[in-house]
Structure 1
Amino acid sequence: MRDAGNILALILMVLGASSLVAQDPSPLLQTYILQALEQNPELASSRLQHEISLEKSEEVNVLPNTEFGVGYFVSEPETRTGAQRARFSVKQMIPWFGNISARQEYTSALADAQAMDVHIKERKLILELSGTYYRLYALHKKMEVVSRQLSLTETYKQLALNAVETGKSSAVAVFKLQIRENELENQRDRLEEQLLAEKEGFYNLIGTESSAPVQLPDTLTLDEFTHDLAEVNLDLHPELVKFEEMYESVMQAEALNRKEAAPNLGIGLDYIPVEKRSDMNPVDNGKDIIMPMVSVSIPIFNKKYRSVSRQNEMRKESLELDRLERKNRLETMLSKAVHSREVARINAATQQENILEADNAMRILLRSYETGTIDFNDLLDIQEMQLRFEMNLIEEVRSYYNESLIINYLSSTS
């Protein structure tokens, strides 16, 4: 029985190794978030698109192309002062007053909307990266649980073998424990594959290749924090502010449309060189011709601009409806996340209580071995419960932090 006593001591030590130790995970995760914000390729592409939209403000800050013309008279027209040889012209169209500034304001409004897109993508990247981080944590903790259960199963097998040798149990108990061990090994292998896949996705989000293990916290604990929905102002959320920026861009598009419906002015100059007459010498003989010109381009058929105005009105109405629909969705997401987080906290507390009760039951069952009897069927049942409760606890903790991420995403306006 000395060997059995040592085995029992080992089992009780393993059972007591699952105590929670609080540790703040934010410094570890924050490091990865900063890397992702700097290196994520999709985010980098979005920032470049914003820079392109900023450059468009410079693109529109110009006048239309200056027109130059050269003509040669094949049949030279004769005038009193001489024959005309060629014709040179230059012409510059000038948009109506305020047209160029309206274009700049329109492109600037589009750039502001694009900047809000970048901000939203940054926040969604943080949300996705953090969610993957906590899934990695959950998988890692599940592997620890399975490894611990494997160690216990091996120890239980030794107890069963001792019991078979002393006639206290049948060999069936050993086979059942072997089957149990096989199932746990299979579960561990599947968790390892899932962990590798999640890790690859994690580093892809960061925008780097790495084979190093992700640095995870030892243990995540749950606080008693409850979020007050009344304190959240979703109107300041970037996803809704984006609609305001887009609405402003439509307003600027309409202002530009009105400017483009106004006349355009044109100024120019024609120069015609004249050859001197040799048969006579009239006044201004051979004097070149210089002719300044002014032109006006009037959009008489302005149906196009009226159509654009109607389209802009419809765009504004559409944006208002889209914003209302999106706000409703965000409110629903926030409410669900707050309540789901509280449910996860309640469930986690229940699982912790169940784990303690299962551990107590296992201790009582193992103590009965000292009296000469042990029911290995009960042992397997309790071990299954231990595994289920610990796995459930890990999932509830992950769910708690995942819902916290959603709450932070929706409630934070910075």
Structure 2
Amino acid sequence: MKHKNVYIITCLLLFQVTHGQSLENYLAEAEKNSSEILAKQFQYESALEKVNEVGSLPNTQLGVGVFAQAVETRVGPQRARFSASQKIPWFGLLSAKKENAKLLANAKESEIDFLKRQLSLNVKLAYYELYTLQQKHTITKQHIEILDTYEKLALNELENNRTNMVDVLNIKMKKNTLLQQFQEISENIQSQKVTFNLLLNKPVTTEVLVLDSLKVQEVGFFTTKEAIEMNPKLQQLDHLENALQQSEIVAKKEGNPSIGFGLDYVLVAERSGISLPDNGKDIIMPMVTVSIPLFNKKHIAKQKQLQLEQEAISQTKITVKNQLLIAYEQALNTLKNAKESIRTQDENILQAEQAKEVILAAYQTAKMDFEQLLALDQLALSFELQKVKDLNVCFSNSAILEFLTTDTK
């Protein structure tokens, strides 16, 4: 298939951690521990067993009868009857049922694939959020330390009558605000660790590896809208639609006659006091039966029902595909905007630091302008926090695009 639109998504910032492939390890652990996926796996295995069930012939009928009163025949009285019979469905019915069961099992398998993708996405998003919180934690702590330095500097200036108590109090208020934010971020980290452990189906008190370093590197990958066609949610609907088509074939074949073969064996006792040819000879009677569906309205209704269900699945596929395409476009656009914002924040952070250096350099010959210094520090803090937020957006939307388009098998 020719791809008309090929998007090159280059996430310019992708983190590498000091502890190696920890995210991949967490993803494998989450899939292994998932009770939901395990439950669906059991359902899938049950569906595979259904193939053997529907492909088997009906039970063989065996019967034994004893005459309460002997039925007299020319060759002797009948004492007992043994019978065996086997119904055989119309040609191709069993194979059609087996194919239908296989398609339903395939739908179960696609459902498992979708759950794996969904779990992988949720773990990645939680992982990135935890990383983001720790980065905010580190940045806030650094700026608290900077304000500590400013406070000592302001107190020194106050002793030398080069500033007033207002500057000192202003610094203290800014520091108190950051301390409150620092405490809030610390609590959010603990809460996010609980969420992360629950996603991995582990005890909430289990220690989570918190990343402490980030290395910037350039990574590019291709993705296409057409790849959405391979999303397991759409594949599941395809299998269900095919199963309904096969069910319609089964319903048609069930409207055909069925054939039965049987054998009766009658035990005959000898007549006493008389000499006859074949005296007491047992009776063997082969039988053939045909079941004719004279009243087949239920089969016709069943076929119509299945046709309507196929139409419903077809419309559902359109809805789901449009939803996936909308999510794709939104994630792609958000990712591009986040990358541009990261570049802007890098420039702003650099310029804010340069401005602070100018003020500090002027301190050698002039009075320190603490108000302007605090304003620049607050700007630098907001730029750094915004960059961390943009990084989270970049990673998260890359994960969403992978969820939509990448085959994780």
Corresponding position of 2:59:
65
1:363 and 1:218, CA in 2 relative to 1: closer, same or farther beyond 3 A? same
- Name the residue aligned to 1:121: 115
- The match for 1:98 among 92, 96, 117 is 92
- Point out the more displaced range, 284-293 or 104-113: 284-293
Render the CA deviation track for 1:141-199: whole Å, top value 9, x for unaligned: 00000110111121122112212222233333333333322222222222122222222
Task: Give structure 1 stretches of 5+ with no counterpart.
Answer: 1-19
Residues 14-413 of structure 1: pairs in structure 2 closer than 5 A: 24=16, 27-209=21-203, 211-214=206-209, 216=211, 218-219=213-214, 221=216, 223=218, 232-371=226-365, 373-413=367-407
Structure 1 residue 228, shift from structure 2 partner:
7.2
Higher strand content, 1 or 2: 2
Letter in 1 for 2:206: S
Query: Does the CA-based 8 Å contact 1:261-1:305 persist in structure 2?
Result: yes
Identity of aligned pairs, percent? 33
Deviation larger for 56-65 or 177-186: 177-186
Structure 2 CA distance for aligned equivalents of residues 61 and 270 of structure 1: 27
1:322: Cα distance to partner? 1.4
Inter-partner Cα distance in structure 2 for 1:199 and 1:252: 48
Alpha-carbon offset, residue 338 of structure 1: 1.3
Secondary structure, counterpart of 1:167 in structure 2: coil
**Cα deviation digits, residues 323-370 of structure 1 (max 9, x gap):** 112221222211111111111111111222222222223223333443
CA distance in 1, matches of 2:13, 2:249: 62
Higher helix share: 1
Q: Which residue of 2 aligns with 1:13?
A: none
Structure 1 stretches of 4+ moved >4 Å: 20-23, 222-229
Q: Which amino acid counterpart does residue 247 of structure 1 have in structure 2?
A: E
Shift of 1:279: 4.5
Q: Distance in 2 between matches of 1:388 and 1:99?
A: 70
Distance 2:284 2:116 in 1: 62
Q: CA separation of 1:226/1:49 partners in 2, compared to 1, >3 Å: closer, same or farther? A: closer
Residue 264 of structure 2 aligns to a residue whose secondary structure is: strand
> What TM-score comes out, normalization by structure 1 length?
0.87
The one-character-per-residue Cα deviations of 1:24-82 (angstroms, maximum 9, x if unpaired) are 45833223223333333222222222222112112222111111222232233333333
- Tell me, in whole angstroms, the C-alpha distance in 2 between the residues paired with 1:383 and 1:54: 64
* Cα distance in 1, alignment partners of residues 85 and 355 from structure 2: 97
Structure 2 distance, partners of 1:68, 1:228, is: 63
**DSSP-derived class of the 2:299 partner:** helix
> In 2, Cα distance between the equivalents of 1:297 and 1:184?
85
TM superposition score normalised by structure 2: 0.88
Contact 2:260 2:289 in 1 (8 A): yes
Residue equivalent to 1:3:
none
Q: Distance in 2 between matches of 1:249 and 1:22?
A: 43
TM-superposed deviation, 1:224: 8.4
Contact 1:24–1:217 (8 Å) recurs in 2: no
Structure 2 regions of 5+ residues with no counterpart?
1-11
Q: What do residues 101-153 of structure 1 show as CA deviations (whole Å, max 9, x unaligned)?
A: 11111111111222222222222222221111111111110000011011112
The 1:217/1:55 distance shift into structure 2, 3 A limit, reads farther
Q: Equivalents in 2 of 1:126, 1:60: separation in Å?
A: 35
Amino acid at match of 1:252: Q
Pick closer, same or farther for the CA change 1:61–1:217 going to 2, 3 Å. farther
For residue 101 of structure 1, give the secondary structure of its aligned residue in structure 2.
Answer: helix
Partner of 2:68, secondary structure, is coil
CA–CA separation in structure 1 for the residues paired with 2:202 and 2:337: 36
CA distance 1:218–1:76, change in 2 (3 Å): same
What is the alpha-carbon distance in structure 2 between the residues aligned to residue 343 and residue 374 of structure 1?
38
Of the structure 1 ranges 218-227 and 163-172, higher mean CA displacement relative to structure 2 is found in 218-227
Q: Is the CA contact 2:14–2:219 (under 8 Å) kept in the aligned structure 1?
A: no
Instruction: Report the RMSD for the aligned CA atoms in angstroms.
Output: 2.6
Q: 1:227 to 1:272 in 2, by over 3 A?
A: closer
